[in-house]
A and B are shown apart, each in its own frame.
Chain A
């Protein structure tokens, strides 16, 4: 019986040891490629979390191997290690703040890292699941207030406040609505009249007009900024006002004989909690 138990402990111990060696190797590999290829974890805190995970798998192995006397010392070392890593995790996030958000379908990760000291924020694009590379700098210096909202499984709207006290929106896009590989203009594809709850959107040759609560506002082409091929941000006085995005059921096709298929959404640029409004196609103007 005791022999059987010992065998089982042996097997479990070996499994745990192998897992921790794999995690350790992964972490060392990461350090190597991050230096060589400028790749980072999608969230810097992952480094410390993976460290802690590795030690948690290793701890039972150590406890199985050492005598009672040394067990206390071992546990102390493990606790110190974990404490140090938790401290670094929290403290590093005050130097470089990570804004990380996972899409509703768990397929995409929005990653922004903000240099707290000077308000510079960098948008990261994940390439290999949890690894990412710096993609582009967010316009304007930020104040650290970020509000992330997924408008679709592949569209993330990031609303943030700048040091000039303006509201800006940055849109992370992770897909498209076309047949693949082609660039198209969102404003042109949504040509026509769209209606939602207490709001109308008209896209025509002049630009995009938003009618809300009887108030009409025209955004001309110079005030419309496209992100990827899924969304446009409508601006007034260099400040974001609305984001218009293509819902997942929106179909890009070039045949006018087919009716416009799908919905679009309009989302207000505000740091207060708000939901995108779904718009339905009403007419071709």
Chain B
């Protein structure tokens, strides 16, 4: 046992001595720095074909025919449940640039469209936070060709972002930016030619933080404000394609005062419009998930309470 221990100790000393000399001699000489994380990131090839993918692509929603993945530091989209993938020519960081709270495993909700007939991604680029370009990259042939359209510039740090098309030609983009505390500016852009060009509507003038918005047709649109501690829905409506904005009137029953406080985006229902009003981030009425459904028969200018809606209704 004594000799085994002595032998082991000798081996340790010997190996450590050799290792020290090896380590000393391999101190990286001039101009031979290890690759930094930054360099490693920049070395990724801009386009990786399917044969040499470092990581097998897994769709974010594997059950959907049309899905995407952000693996390998790039955005890939599929239209056939992951059998074939197309790389979208946009940097991952650009998709999340601006002011964004959330993980980067999934695309920002409402910042993209991915349907059989249209793929569109809203993002910003630029080194200075107060001088960004807002761009929409879109394809109508399942990623065969891409068009990049400038939505607006310069723009200060995009926070809220939403892009939507109601038909082949008409679409809208709602963005907010330049937030300082709880004040920011919100902007609405419309296209009537399938996204080839975008025009800004008249500004609503509201500087509260926007929580939602959208158009139900080419004339009628909504902006909903209040994100932190809203006390009542703050919904603005346009009936003329964004030329004028007016505050909508919501008749909230007394028992729901301070309960239903944040309007979502109105939708068309038969001969009227309906909107769900949720409880905001701090609601705890019946667990906080129940929403109030309101109805408007005058294109969204006034709203009447209809019923409570459970989250899975």
A28 to B19, CA, bound (A): 8
Q: Which of A24, A27, A85, A120 contacts B31 (CB 8 A)?
A: A120
B100 at the interface (CB under 8 A from A): yes
**Which DSSP category, helix, strand, loop or mixed, fits chain A's interface?**
mixed
B16 at the interface (CB under 8 A from A): yes
Binary contact track B9-31/A, C-beta < 8 Å → 1, others 0: 10011011101110110011111
Question: From residue B6, how far is it (CB to closest CB) to chain A in Å?
Answer: 5
In the complex, are the beta carbons of A61 and B16 less than 8 A apart?
no
A96 at the interface (CB under 8 A from B): yes
Residues of A close to B24: CB separation below 8 A = 88, 91-92
In the complex, are the beta carbons of A256 and B229 less than 8 A apart?
no
In chain B between 163 and 184, which residues have their CB closer than 8 angstroms to a CB of chain A?
A: 178-183
A257 to B231, CA, bound (A): 13
A103 at the interface (CB under 8 A from B): no
In the complex, are the beta carbons of A47 and B20 less than 8 A apart?
yes
Task: Tell me whether A256 and B13 are in contact in the complex, defined as CB-CB below 8 angstroms, given that A115-B30, A118-B30, A120-B33 are known contacts.
Answer: no
Question: From residue A232, how far is it (CB to closest CB) to chain B in Å?
Answer: 11
B72 at the interface (CB under 8 A from A): no
In chain B between 134 and 192, which residues have their CB closer than 8 angstroms to a CB of chain A?
A: 157, 178-183
Residues of B close to A122: CB separation below 8 A = 33-34, 36
| Number of chain B interface residues as a range | 35 or more
A108 at the interface (CB under 8 A from B): no
Residues of B close to A253: CB separation below 8 A = 181
Task: Tell me whether A136 and B5 are in contact in the complex, defined as CB-CB below 8 angstroms, given that A81-B13, A256-B181 are known contacts.
Answer: no
Task: State which of A150-158, A164-172, A181-189, A242-250 sits at the interface with chain B.
Answer: A181-189
A143 at the interface (CB under 8 A from B): no
Identify the closest chain A residue to B16 (Cβ): A51
Residues of A close to B34: CB separation below 8 A = 38, 40, 122, 133-134
Task: Tell me whether A47 and B23 are in contact in the complex, defined as CB-CB below 8 angstroms, given that A96-B28, A254-B228, A256-B181 are known contacts.
Answer: yes
Residues of B close to A78: CB separation below 8 A = 13
A27 to B18, CA, bound (A): 12
Task: State which of B53-61, B124-132, B239-247 sits at the interface with chain A.
Answer: B124-132
Besides the known contacts A135-B37, A257-B182, 17 further A-B residue pairs in the complex with CB atoms under 8 A apart: A28-B15, A38-B34, A47-B23, A61-B9, A84-B17, A88-B20, A95-B29, A96-B28, A118-B30, A133-B36, A134-B37, A135-B36, A183-B100, A253-B181, A254-B228, A255-B182, A258-B181
A-B contact pairs, 21 of them (CB 8 A): A47-B20, A47-B23, A51-B16, A55-B13, A58-B9, A62-B6, A84-B20, A88-B20, A88-B23, A88-B24, A92-B24, A117-B29, A135-B37, A181-B102, A181-B103, A184-B99, A185-B129, A188-B179, A254-B181, A254-B209, A260-B181
